[in-house]
Structure 1
Amino acid sequence: MSEFIGSIWWLIVALGVLVTFHEFGHYWVARRCGVKVLRFSVGFGKPLWSRRGKDGTEYVIAAIPLGGYVKMLDERESAVTANEVDQAFNRKSVFKRIAIVAAGPIANLLLCVALFWAMFVIGRPDYLPVVGHVEGIAASSGLRAGDTLLAVGERDTPTWSEAQLALLPLALDRTDARVRVRTAGGGESTRTLHLSQLPDSFDERRAVDLIGITPRHLLAPAVIGRVLPDSPAFGQLIEGDRVTAIDGEPVHSWDDIAPLVQKLGARGGEAMIEVERKDDPRLALLLAPRLTRNTQTGQDYWALGIASGRTAPPAKDAVLRYGPIDAIPASVREGAHQTQELFAMIGRAFSGRVSVQNTVAGPITIARAVNASAQHGAAWFLQILALLSLSLGILNLLPIPILDGGHLLYYLIELVKGSPVSERAMAAGQYVGLALIAGLMGLAFYNDIMNNLVR
Structure 2
Amino acid sequence: MGETIGSAWWFIVALGVLVTIHEFGHFFVARRCGVKVLRFSVGFGRPLWLRRGKDGTEYVVAMLPLGGYVRMLDERDDQYTPALQAQTLAAKPVGQRIAIAAAGPLANLVLCVFLLWAMFVVGRPDYAAAVGSAQGIAAQAGLRTGDVIQKIDGSDTPTWTEAQYALTISAIDRKPVQIDVRTREGGTARRTLDLSKMPQGFDETNAVRLMGLVPRHMLVPPVIGDITKGAPAYGILAQDDRVTAVDGQPVESFDDIAPKVRALAARGGPGMIEVQREGERLALEITPGKLKQPDGREIVGLGIVSAKATQPAFDAMLRYGPLAAVPQAFKATGELTGQITGLIKRMVTGQMSLKYVTGPVTTARAANATAQLGLGWFLNFLALLSLSLAILNLLPIPLLDGGHLLYYLIELVKGSPLSERAMAAGQYVGLVLLVGLMGLALFNDVLLNRLLHW
Per the shorter chain, which TM-score range?
over 0.9
RMSD over equivalenced CA pairs, Å:
2.1
> Which residue does the alignment assign to 1:159?
159
SS at match of 1:59: strand
Could you tell me the TM-score, scaled by structure 2's length?
0.93
> Which residue does the alignment assign to 2:9?
9
1:234 & 1:413 partners in 2: Cα distance? 78
- Give 4+ residue runs of structure 1 displaced > 4 Å after superposition: 225-240
Q: Does 1:64 align with 2:64?
A: yes
> Which residue does the alignment assign to 1:127?
127
| Alpha-carbon shift at residue 306 of structure 1 (Å) | 4.2
Q: Does 1:408 align with 2:405?
A: yes
> Which residue does the alignment assign to 2:21?
21
2:216 & 2:309 partners in 1: Cα distance? 16
- CA deviations over 1:405-426 (Å, ceiling 9, x no partner): 1111111122222222222222
SS at match of 2:181: strand
Q: Report if aligned partners of 2:291, 2:303 keep a CA contact under 8 Å in 1.
A: no
> Which residue does the alignment assign to 1:397?
394
2:303 & 2:42 partners in 1: Cα distance? 61
- CA deviations over 1:297-324 (Å, ceiling 9, x no partner): 3333444454433441111111111111
Q: What letter is aligned with 1:176?
A: P
Task: Sort the Cα spacing of 1:271 and 1:194 in 2 relative to 1 into closer, same or farther, 3 A.
Answer: same
1:227 & 1:418 partners in 2: Cα distance? 80
> Which residue does the alignment assign to 1:346?
344
Q: What letter is aligned with 1:246?
A: V
Q: Does 1:50 align with 2:50?
A: yes
Q: Report if aligned partners of 2:208, 2:214 keep a CA contact under 8 Å in 1.
A: no
> Which residue does the alignment assign to 2:436?
439
1:318 & 1:178 partners in 2: Cα distance? 23
1:298 & 1:416 partners in 2: Cα distance? 73
2:116 & 2:170 partners in 1: Cα distance? 23
1:27 & 1:198 partners in 2: Cα distance? 49
- CA deviations over 1:172-230 (Å, ceiling 9, x no partner): 11110000111211111110000111234222222222211011111111233456676
1:256 & 1:284 partners in 2: Cα distance? 17
Task: Sort the Cα spacing of 1:352 and 1:33 in 2 relative to 1 into closer, same or farther, 3 A.
Answer: same
Q: What letter is aligned with 2:283?
A: A
> Which residue does the alignment assign to 2:333?
335
SS at match of 1:51: strand
1:229 & 1:355 partners in 2: Cα distance? 45
2:194 & 2:108 partners in 1: Cα distance? 37
Q: Which runs of 5+ in 1 are unaligned?
A: none
Q: What letter is aligned with 1:196?
A: S
Q: Report if aligned partners of 2:149, 2:181 keep a CA contact under 8 Å in 1.
A: yes
User: Given the alignment, which residue of 320, 323, 340 partners 2:321?
Assistant: 323
Q: Report if aligned partners of 2:246, 2:273 keep a CA contact under 8 Å in 1.
A: yes
1:79 & 1:21 partners in 2: Cα distance? 26
> Which residue does the alignment assign to 2:364?
367
2:425 & 2:333 partners in 1: Cα distance? 35
Q: What letter is aligned with 1:19?
A: V
SS at match of 1:90: coil
Q: Which runs of 5+ in 2 are unaligned?
A: none
Q: What is the number of equivalent residue pairs in this alignment?
A: 452
> Which residue does the alignment assign to 2:196?
196
Q: Does 1:207 align with 2:214?
A: no
| Alpha-carbon shift at residue 367 of structure 1 (Å) | 2.2
> Which residue does the alignment assign to 2:312?
314
Q: What letter is aligned with 1:118?
A: A
> Which residue does the alignment assign to 1:382?
379
2:272 & 2:185 partners in 1: Cα distance? 26
Q: Report if aligned partners of 2:225, 2:307 keep a CA contact under 8 Å in 1.
A: yes
- CA deviations over 1:59-95 (Å, ceiling 9, x no partner): 1011111111011122243452354333222222211
For residues 255-334 of structure 1, the aligned pairs below 5 Å read 255-280=255-280, 282-294=281-293, 296-334=294-332
SS at match of 1:89: coil
Q: Report if aligned partners of 2:132, 2:215 keep a CA contact under 8 Å in 1.
A: yes
Q: What letter is aligned with 1:190?
A: R
For residues 212-223 of structure 1, the aligned pairs below 5 Å read 212-223=212-223
1:94 & 1:444 partners in 2: Cα distance? 34
1:428 & 1:233 partners in 2: Cα distance? 73
Q: What letter is aligned with 1:379?
A: G
Q: What letter is aligned with 2:38?
A: L
| Alpha-carbon shift at residue 256 of structure 1 (Å) | 0.8
| Alpha-carbon shift at residue 277 of structure 1 (Å) | 4.6
Task: Sort the Cα spacing of 1:238 and 1:207 in 2 relative to 1 into closer, same or farther, 3 A.
Answer: closer
| Alpha-carbon shift at residue 326 of structure 1 (Å) | 1.2
> Which residue does the alignment assign to 1:251?
251
Q: What letter is aligned with 1:436?
A: L
SS at match of 2:417: coil
2:116 & 2:109 partners in 1: Cα distance? 11
Q: Report if aligned partners of 2:15, 2:65 keep a CA contact under 8 Å in 1.
A: yes
1:70 & 1:259 partners in 2: Cα distance? 64
- % of aligned pairs identical? 60
1:14 & 1:98 partners in 2: Cα distance? 27
Question: Structure 1 residues 236-245 or 119-128, which shifts more?
Answer: 236-245
Q: Report if aligned partners of 1:221, 1:310 keep a CA contact under 8 Å in 2.
A: no
2:199 & 2:284 partners in 1: Cα distance? 44
SS at match of 1:332: helix
Could you tell me the TM-score, scaled by structure 1's length?
0.93
SS at match of 2:90: helix
SS at match of 2:169: helix
